[in-house]
Chains A and B, each alone.
Chain A
């Protein structure tokens, strides 16, 4: 299994006010999560589907003996199920005390950004405001900061 380990304590240029993001894409849009939450990045290799659960959860994978659920981020954003191939990527993240994977199209970059540069999500679509912590601009492109707690959150499940 080809997996890229991401060191948690990688050097952090820029000091306390800067954070590093792993940037990944879903379609044309770029999103980011804080690098410190990333545990592993691996190629999509299928998942065991889970019945009776949220439609955007693709199933579970075995990550060195523990069972980790995979969230299809595209589906989570309401754009339909990802037609996943070996070229798609699972980013394994730690959220609270749980480990989850998010299925994305590709991982593009590691970005160092200044906290001050993070913009609030403009009011408008509820879902955007819920799923994003903020927006930054990088290389003239908009990068949405994923709010992992909400992505994983149970708000519309088990109702």
Chain B
């Protein structure tokens, strides 16, 4: 299983990497939506975890682009968010986000959420 993690925070990327790699996932990283799209262009990915607030291309745009690409309509995309204030999450979902993970995340729950959405 390959998980693409998209976040502009190295800390978060490192923590995701640690948790996911520890659980046997192969982890790809991107620092913003544009990089994320580039990865998806070239790499098979099974699950995407993306932050919302990022420079260059934010998470919402990223998800929209992924879904619009035609190639990734059934790719599960998890939104990584600290805002429990619904609207960000809803925007992410409206763009095509599959589910969400609330930061700070508990490793076990992160893994269970990935399991929950991955085919």
- Given a CB threshold of 8 Å, the question of whether A touches B is answered with no
Chain A positions within 8 Å of B, measured between CB atoms, are: none
> Which residue numbers of B lie inside 8 Å of A, CB to CB?
none
